[in-house]
Amino acid sequence: MTDDDETAFPTDYEYALARSCGQCKAAPGTVCDAPRKDTSLRQLDDLLQQRGADPAEHDPTHRIHISRLDAGIRHRTRDIAQAPDREDRIAGRSYGTLGQLPTPRKRRAIPPDADLFTRAAAVLGGTASAVKWPYGLSNPQRRRASTPAAYEELQRKRRTAQETITAWAETYGLRLSSSDCCPRWLQRSVSRRCTDGQCRYDAPAADAGWLDHSTFWLLDGAPAVLASAPYAPGPEDNDRLRWWAKEDPRLRTARGEGWYGYGTTQILMWRSDILDFVVPAVSAPAHAGNAEQVAVRPA
């Protein structure tokens, strides 16, 4: 490591501290809960005092878990590799990417008169002939309808739901994420599932009720919106949503009629530092075309 790297990039410790710890669950910005490490450092200080020496100034990386430190080092190494060559860097400028949202990807332009399936593939993934519809939005099967008329009605309702979710996502410039998780997903700068088994349907399943039929949405590659459609959210779900709003003031919520149907309630949770506002999806007329984008990233 050179002196130039020291000024152009945060330290290994700062990179590590910016991440949550998968071992002790320490939140970004907080040191690890590592009793054995703390005990070892205290024992070292006691030994120095017994010898008449002053306590040592400990390396802060000694207070965080190795897995967290390794992840921070990998992040720093990537930043150094992607930065301009040393001779091309601007003196005093930091080239670290801590706290930055991912660089927006260039999207393929969709013609205003594109059909529903072409538009849906652009926001949901897949191709026009094989859209990656979320659960409950795939094209219905004939065997699920008792009569041809019932099948046509089922098709009509499903097409309305498909158009609704596609137009809603287009409105905010959103793209469906494959990394579904829990509200902690929204707190990250990149789309990544929890690795500790403490979310959604795993114990303690505090959010399992209201996260039914959930979808997770990205804006320019960053987690932005979580949508769900539970059948009958109860008081415990309301308490949980209030808890999240208190836990992270950036999170906002809204409700509406569930696009999934069957009497479900639509619940939205979003990052207010990424989108000023998000309103629930409402039934859209078929072939509405690309909606005007209203996504706003605060300056």
Same-domain check for residues 129 and 56 = no
Indicate if 29 and 163 belong to the same structural domain.
no
Quote the pLDDT of residue 297.
Answer: 38
Rounded average pLDDT over 41-65: 79
- Cβ of 21: how many Cβ atoms within 10 Å? 23
More confident residue, 5 or 268: 268
| Residues 177 and 216 sit within 8 Å (Cβ to Cβ) | yes
- The Cα–Cα gap between 29 and 46 comes to 28
pTM (2 d.p.): 0.59
Residue 285 falls inside a structural domain:
no
Residues 249 and 147 in one domain: yes
Per-residue confidence band for 144, with pLDDT thresholds at 50, 70 and 90: low
pLDDT band at 28 (very low <50, low <70, confident <90, very high): confident
Co-location of 256 and 192 in the same domain: yes
Residue 298 lies in a domain: no
Q: Are residues 163 and 76 in the same domain?
A: no
Same domain, 163 and 220: yes
Note the Cα 104 to chain centre separation in Å.
Answer: 15
**Residue at 50 is within a domain:** yes
User: How many folded domains does the chain comprise?
Assistant: 2
Q: Is residue 101 part of a domain?
A: no
The 10s digit of each residue's pLDDT in 160-213 is 888 888 989 998 899 999 877 888 888 887 788 777 666 655 445 678 888 888
On the question of pLDDT at 268 being above 50, the answer is yes
Average pLDDT of the residues in 210-236: 88
Residue 131 and residue 72 share a domain: no
143 and 12 fall within a common domain: no
Q: Are residues 151 and 40 in the same domain?
A: no
Domain-embedded: residue 288: no
Range of the domain at 32: 3-88
Q: Assess if residue 291 is contained within a domain.
A: no
The answer to whether residue 42 is domain-embedded is yes
Question: Is the pLDDT at 96 greater than 80, yes or no?
Answer: no
Q: Mark whether 155 and 14 lie in a shared domain.
A: no
**Residues 126 and 227 occupy one common structural domain:** yes
- Are 31 and 135 found together in one domain? no
**Structure confidence at residue 287 as a pLDDT band (50, 70, 90):** very low
Quickly state the pLDDT bin for 217 (edges 50, 70, 90).
very high
- Rg for the chain (alpha carbons), in Å? 24
Q: Cis before residue 204, ω within 30 degrees of 0?
A: yes
Determine, yes or no, domain membership for 188: yes
